[in-house]
């Protein structure tokens, strides 16, 4: 019975004549099939400006090594052993979208079964390039791909396959930490052959990681304050324009919204591809506030228009009332100038007549109609006073008729 432990004897038996520099097949025509699997553990960061996605995944590889096989009966029924990853052949499978080496923990060992099946399980921090569409921020959904392929070997040497069924990979969120900003929706898989010009084709396995942003934080901190400010701007129209507080209230709202935009400018993602829709919304709200302030200024101007207008100068009155009628052939200047003193004399006569009529209770507009109840006439009939009153009344009627003619001419 051997005294050396079975693990040490088996490790020495497998690695004594092992050559890790060659592909582990006895016939070079045999293709090494590597089955891969992926589970998303966390979404660390999404850099919209640099278009970089940082994720933490659990990655698994499985292939068959024909030179790592043994009979368990010769080694104390040992069916599985862990060997250093640096001591055996490992496929050169990389991610095409790699942009930086993440700080991934190093796992130095792999599991090997007695049939030659090698399992390489390791966590990886992946920093990959991703085309991020932020138009619907903060209600955006991103689709980033992780393409696994052999960097050197053709599909005839190394082929890729999926370890689990696509449906199991799609909705597997068993290890995902979903308390962050991003939520994992599903993971899609797709196998394809990739060819560069006239060279041989390569095997590629794509994993499409579909994630969605949780919009609650941005809704509370961005959308609701903007909506409140716009509602206050609408309420400001109920202030009376002549109070003097409407313009100052609008200016205060505009200043507050400007400060709000300065604060949220660092929160909005900045890319050279396009502008998010919420940024356009903020610009439109700012434009509406400016239009509202302009409209308020115009309304206040119209309300106080009568107070702001100066009195008409005398030379303007002389030009429009005396010179303009002559130029427009409305009336002769001499008749217009003569009518002014005549109208003033007639107005004085009217005033005297009114005072005389108040003193004489028997006076009427027409002396012929003045009669006393009972058939008698008032005293003084045929006297000079009655004839004078008749002339005054006739002059007043003529004045009124001339004034109406003057008004008609002025209207024309």
Report the pLDDT value the prediction gives residue 352, as an integer from 0 to 100: 53
* Secondary-structure class of domain 6-213 per CATH: mainly beta
Contact present, 389 and 363 (Cβ < 8 Å): yes
* Residue percentage of the chain with pLDDT more than 70: 80
Q: What pLDDT, in 10s, does the model give residues 233-274?
A: 999 888 887 777 888 899 999 999 999 888 888 888 877 667
Regarding predicted confidence, which is higher, 378 or 81? 81
Output the CA–CA distances (angstroms, integers) from residue 159 to 23, 93, 170, 194, 412, in the order listed: 13, 10, 22, 12, 102
Residue intervals in the chain for CATH 2.70.170.10: 6-213
Q: What is the arithmetic mean of pLDDT over 35-62?
A: 92
d(CA 134, CA 275) in angstroms, rounded, equals 8
Report the pLDDT value the prediction gives residue 366, as an integer from 0 to 100: 47
Report the pLDDT value the prediction gives residue 315, as an integer from 0 to 100: 82
129 has which bridge partners? 52
**On the CB side of 165, how many CA atoms lie within 13 Å of its CA?**
3
Q: What pLDDT, in 10s, does the model give residues 179-224?
A: 788 999 999 999 999 887 777 889 999 999 999 999 998 999 889 9
* The token pair that represents 122 in the structure block: 């390791």
Q: Is 373 strand, coil or helix?
A: coil
d(CA 259, CA 261) in angstroms, rounded, equals 5
Report the pLDDT value the prediction gives residue 269, as an integer from 0 to 100: 81
* The token pair that represents 33 in the structure block: 């099939």
Dihedral (Cα; 163, 166, 168, 174), 10-degree rounding: 80
Report the pLDDT value the prediction gives residue 166, as an integer from 0 to 100: 92
C-alpha angle 375/381/385, rounded to 5°?
145
d(CA 26, CA 39) in angstroms, rounded, equals 33
pLDDT bin (cut points 50, 70, 90) of residue 228 is very high
Report the pLDDT value the prediction gives residue 361, as an integer from 0 to 100: 43
Report the pLDDT value the prediction gives residue 237, as an integer from 0 to 100: 86
Q: Is the dihedral of CA 19, 117, 114, 157 positive or negative?
A: negative
Q: What are phi and psi of 84, to 5 degrees?
A: -60, 135
Report the pLDDT value the prediction gives residue 309, as an integer from 0 to 100: 64
d(CA 227, CA 233) in angstroms, rounded, equals 10
Q: What is the arithmetic mean of pLDDT over 360-384?
A: 45
Question: Does 387 have pLDDT greater than 70?
Answer: no
What single-letter DSSP state applies at residue 185? E
**On the CB side of 245, how many CA atoms lie within 13 Å of its CA?**
6
Tokens 């009217």 sit at which residue?
A: 350
Contact present, 213 and 138 (Cβ < 8 Å): yes
Q: Is the dihedral of CA 122, 90, 166, 139 positive or negative?
A: positive
């Amino acid at each position: 019975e051997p005294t050396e432990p079975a693990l040490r004897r088996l490790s020495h038996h497998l690695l004594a004549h092992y050559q890790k520099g060659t592909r582990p097949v006895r016939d070079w025509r045999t293709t090494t099939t590597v089955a891969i699997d992926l589970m998303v553990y966390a979404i660390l960061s999404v850099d919209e400006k640099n278009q970089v996605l940082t994720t933490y995944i659990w990655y698994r590889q499985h292939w068959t090594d024909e030179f790592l096989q043994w009979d368990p009966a010769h080694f104390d029924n040992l069916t599985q052993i862990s060997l250093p990853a640096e001591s055996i052949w490992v496929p050169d499978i990389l991610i095409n979208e790699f942009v930086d080496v993440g700080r991934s923990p190093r796992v130095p060992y792999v599991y090997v079964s007695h049939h030659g099946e090698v399992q390489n399980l390791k966590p990886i921090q992946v920093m990959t390039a991703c085309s991020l569409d932020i138009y619907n921020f903060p209600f955006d959904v991103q689709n980033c791909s992780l393409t696994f392929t052999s960097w050197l070997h053709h599909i005839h040497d190394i082929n890729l396959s999926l370890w689990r069924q696509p449906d199991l990979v799609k909705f597997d969120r068993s290890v995902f930490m979903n308390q962050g900003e991003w939520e994992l929706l599903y993971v899609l898989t797709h196998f394809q052959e990739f060819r560069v010009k006239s060279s041989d084709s390569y095997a590629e396995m794509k994993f499409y990681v579909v994630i969605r942003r949780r919009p609650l934080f941005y809704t509370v901190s961005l959308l609701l304050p903007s909506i409140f400010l716009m509602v206050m701007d609408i309420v400001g129209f109920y202030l009376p324009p002549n109070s003097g507080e409407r313009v100052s209230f609008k200016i205060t709202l505009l200043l507050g919204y400007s400060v709000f935009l300065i604060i949220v400018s660092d929160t909005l993602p900045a890319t050279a591809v396009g502008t998010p829709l919420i940024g356009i919304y903020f610009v439109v709200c700012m434009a509406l506030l400016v239009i509202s302030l302009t409209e308020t200024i115009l309304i206040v101007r119209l309300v106080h228009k009568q107070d702001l207008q100066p009195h008409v100068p005398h030379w303007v009155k002389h030009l429009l009332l005396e010179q303009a009628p002559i130029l427009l052939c409305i009336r002769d200047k001499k008749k217009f100038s003569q009518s002014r003193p005549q109208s003033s004399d007639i107005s004085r006569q009217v005033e005297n007549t009114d005072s005389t009529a108040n003193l004489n209770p028997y006076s009427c507009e027409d002396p012929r109609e003045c009669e006393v109840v009972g058939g008698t006439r008032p005293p003084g009939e045929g006297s000079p006073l009655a004839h004078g009153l008749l002339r005054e009344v006739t002059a007043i009627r003529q004045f009124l008729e001339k004034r109406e003619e003057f008004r008609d001419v002025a209207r024309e």
